[in-house]
A and B are shown apart, each in its own frame.
Chain A
Amino acid sequence: MTITERTIEADQTALVSRLVSSRQFWLILINLAVICTLGALRPDSFLSWINFKAVLSLMSYDVLLAVAMTTVLIVRGLDLSVGSVLALSSVVMAMLLRDGYPVFPSLLAGLAIALLCGFINGLLVVKAGILPFLVTLGMMSAARGFATVLTTGQYVSFPQAPRWFSRFARQEFGFHIGDMFYGIPALLLITLGVTLVYGLLLANWVPLRRMFYLGESPEAAKLSGMRTARLGISAYLISAIFVWIAAVLMTSANKIGYANYGISAELRALAAAVIGGASLAGGSGSILGTFLGVLLLALIGNGFVLLNGNPNWQQATIGAVLIIAVGVDALRTFRARS
């Protein structure tokens, strides 16, 4: 039989066309295009190390939350509570630090509260079969409300806490070139590191690969021998872990806990994940895509600031980009059909 050889050849020629039809490829091109445009319009302010650092550091939180969102989208879920749970977790950690508890127990308490929220979300969605939109909308409100009650809406600072904690997120690691010091804040390094490792695992590690099958067809996954309930809840727990990491970094970088952290972050996270190729219908999404989605939104935001644009346009632009991304998808599936 020559089927095998012919097949392999056919698959290899398909490789190039797969690259061209891959979403990440286009997102990289679009991001580059935006970078070039901004670079051409504002060479001094945009193409500076300070600006790059600021853009990348600021988008760290969004990257983590978008990764959280991508994870639940893959299993055909949704998590509108990422921003609120970030705030709640941050507030809890800050209050414990303020009251003199050591750093690690305080951080663990923050993790525990985030996991608890994720677990409740997962349980209600998976076991009780309630729509994820409703469950996490409720959690979004509840977590934010709880954080506000705990703090009466005030900032929570923790002057007594060990100094390393309130410094580490902004600590810069870098190198000298000539007189210039090119430093990268730990906040960004940690985000990139965690995201990279998770991205690789999500693309290869069997337990995480199963989540894709679950999102693509829950019934087929079940009959293919996957423990679907466990998988579904795990996705919400993983999401909670990323929210917690964002909370730790934000609390350290700002040196305060605050109940209004992460307001409307869930919408940016959702937009970035969908632009990056995740779908509300489940079964698709990648960390690289999501990262590129966040980057695109961040660059657009940065562009508005540098070009002295009306910042109110920024939100409108994000919406437009989202609609374009979804529109292009719809067009592609439509064209593939006919």
Chain B
Amino acid sequence: MLKATGITKSFHTNMVLHGVDFDVLPGEVHALIGENGAGKSTLVNILSGNLSRDTGTVLFDGQEVDFAHPLDAMRAGVSVVHQELSLVPNASVAENIYLRREKTNAFGLNDWPAMFKAATEIFQRMGVDIDPRALAGSLSVGMQQLVEVAKAIALNAKLIFMDEPTSSLSEKEIQELYGVVNDLKAQGLSIVFISHKLTELFAISDRITVLRDGKLVGTRPTKQASPEEIISMMVGRHLNDLYPPRAKSIGEVIFKCRDLSLFGAVKDVSFDLRRGEILGIAGLIGSGRTEAMRALINADRRLSGTFELNGQAVTLDDPADAMEKGVIYVSEDRKSQGVFLDYDMVRNIGASTLDRQSRAGMENRKSMRQSALKFIREMDIRPARPGTRVVDLSGGNQQKVLLAKALNARPKVLIVDEPTRGVDVGAKSLIHKQLRRLADEGIGVIVVSSELPEVLGMSDRLLVFRNGTVASQLDNNDGSLTPESVMASAVD
């Protein structure tokens, strides 16, 4: 189906792919895995005409091809679900799906009914409930990701690249996506599936290819590989202890939230957060997890809510006020609500601390640089050059920068929404350890995540959201909660 040999690619002087060979058979699901910055997205971008390659040949359907533009690749039957969402926010979902390939009627005008109908059919096939007339920008990140998948399906492609399609989907949507992938495969399509979630790759792939530092480590039939083998291929060493140990001791309540409501999305949410514990928040997409956390810092104007921090009532009037009090929320949408893409790591990591890192009111770049270097080292951000613009970092490293920015602001209560979205196993366990360390130091940590194993592995206590309310509070201090018990309260 597709056979690429000797692909190399450099950005400036930085060689990102070193002669990578990669092939895809007809009707197979081929998993691509590797650490953050290994070059997976770059490879996909090259094979789909989004980036040009330096050397190497690509055979597609037996013919040598050199896609100069994504549209060329689409015409040939190659489509991509990109890692970073690329929908047009002010256009409807259907328009996005048929962008530049609009269905037209006899007058050459857009045939809206046909597009809405076709989009609805695709969603039905995928088993998801999204209104094709809704504006793409009004959907949650998870929904947007599903629209990206629908867009690729609508192309009637022969080969679909999915670059971390499940990174912000919850368990239920992921299962549905697996169904879609298996359907497509049964129809003879080939799918290249990138993910950092090993269980996922083992569940759906036929073969697994591992990249490390831009080099091909190897390709294995999934049936003959074990997770341990893949991990050691990825990182070049063995990793143990996927999750850090749980809280040693749980102390007094440090943060209290009462009757938090947001119009139409969140209703009467109340919870306590204790010293030393990590509070997990689980729930399906659309269950109001993110909305509740945004309402808590009043990023979206809430209807009601009272809070107490270390025994004192606090108002949390707006995100700035919350940050001054020490309540910091890290968004799930890192590209548009998290990092400043065109700015370098120094400016990003210092964004919330301009005041603290100033001298006589003037920006103190030296101090900002020092903090950046400190976090680059602590979180192993690569490349370790503080002057690198965030847009040039791989997805996982962008996520680390985002976390570094929040940590730099010295939170008392840190709310992280999908803290390891798109982060590789090694980095993920590093972030988990950091979060646990913060909790041990007495900082309140709330982890919102769609990834059940993650919330289960991390949290001492779990709030399960359903329809904008807390459906249940589950104790997990002994780590005995099972995914089934959480799912049971997440779905009605």
Contact = CB atoms under 8 A, between A and B. Distances in A.
Interface of A: 1, 3-4, 6-7, 10-11, 14, 204-207, 209-210, 213, 216-217, 219-227, 283-284, 337-338
Contact of B341 (A1, A14, A207, A217): A217
Contact of A210 (B331, B354, B377): B354
24 contacts: A3-B373, A3-B384, A6-B384, A7-B376, A204-B362, A205-B361, A206-B354, A206-B363, A217-B337, A217-B339, A219-B333, A220-B331, A220-B337, A221-B351, A223-B299, A223-B330, A223-B338, A224-B323, A224-B405, A225-B320, A225-B324, A226-B320, A226-B351, A227-B318
Nearest to A200: B362
Interface residues of B, number: 40
B373 A4 contact: yes
Given A14-B387, A338-B52, A283 B354 contact: no
A205 B362 contact: yes
Nearest to B331: A223
Contact of B342 (A3, A209, A216, A227): A216
A91 to B, nearest CB: 37
B305 interface: no
Contact of B51 (A14, A216, A219, A337): A337
A219 B337 contact: yes
B329 interface: yes
Interface string B69-103: 00000000000000000000000000000000000
Contacts of B329: 223
B336 A219 contact: yes
Q: Which 6 A-B pairs have the closest CB atoms?
A: A225-B323, A219-B337, A204-B362, A224-B351, A224-B352, A216-B340
A223 B387 contact: no
Contact of B340 (A14, A213, A222, A338): A213
Contacts of A338: 51-52
Interface in B140-163: none
B358 interface: yes
A220 B299 contact: no
A272 B409 CA distance: 37
B426 interface: no
Given A4-B377, A221-B340, 18 more contacts: A3-B384, A7-B376, A11-B386, A11-B387, A206-B355, A206-B358, A206-B361, A209-B363, A210-B354, A220-B337, A220-B338, A220-B340, A223-B337, A225-B320, A225-B324, A225-B409, A283-B340, A284-B342
B125 interface: no
A197 to B, nearest CB: 13
B385 interface: yes
Contact of B336 (A6, A7, A217, A227): A217
B263 interface: no
B319 interface: yes
Contacts of B343: 213, 216, 283
Contacts of A4: 373, 377
A14 B377 CA distance: 20
A11 B358 CA distance: 22
Nearest to A17: B12
B385 A227 contact: no
A7 B319 CA distance: 34
A225 B319 contact: yes
A206 B350 CA distance: 11
A220 B409 contact: no
A272 to B, nearest CB: 22
Given A205-B361, A206-B362, A222-B319, A3 B377 contact: yes
B386 A7 contact: yes
Most chain-B CB neighbours within 10 Å: which of A216, A220, A284? A220
B14 to A, nearest CB: 11
A216 B391 CA distance: 12
Interface in B354-393: 354-355, 358, 361-363, 373, 376-377, 384-387
A7 B385 CA distance: 5
A309 B492 CA distance: 78
Contacts of B355: 206
A220 B336 contact: yes
Contacts of B352: 224-225
A89 B186 CA distance: 73
B377 A209 contact: no
A104 B351 CA distance: 40
Nearest to B318: A227
B414 to A, nearest CB: 13
A308 to B, nearest CB: 44
B443 to A, nearest CB: 17
A291 B323 CA distance: 37
Contacts of B323: 224-225
Nearest to A2: B384
Contacts of A223: 299, 319, 329-331, 337-338
With most chain A CB atoms within 10 A of its CB, the pick from B320, B336, B409 is: B320
A1 B361 contact: no
B340 A217 contact: yes
A13 B139 CA distance: 44
Contacts of B337: 217, 219-220, 223
Contacts of B322: 225
A209 B352 CA distance: 12
A1 B320 contact: no
Contacts of A204: 362-363
A206, A207, A213, A283 — most chain B CB neighbours (10 Å):
A206
A66 B51 CA distance: 37
Nearest to B354: A206
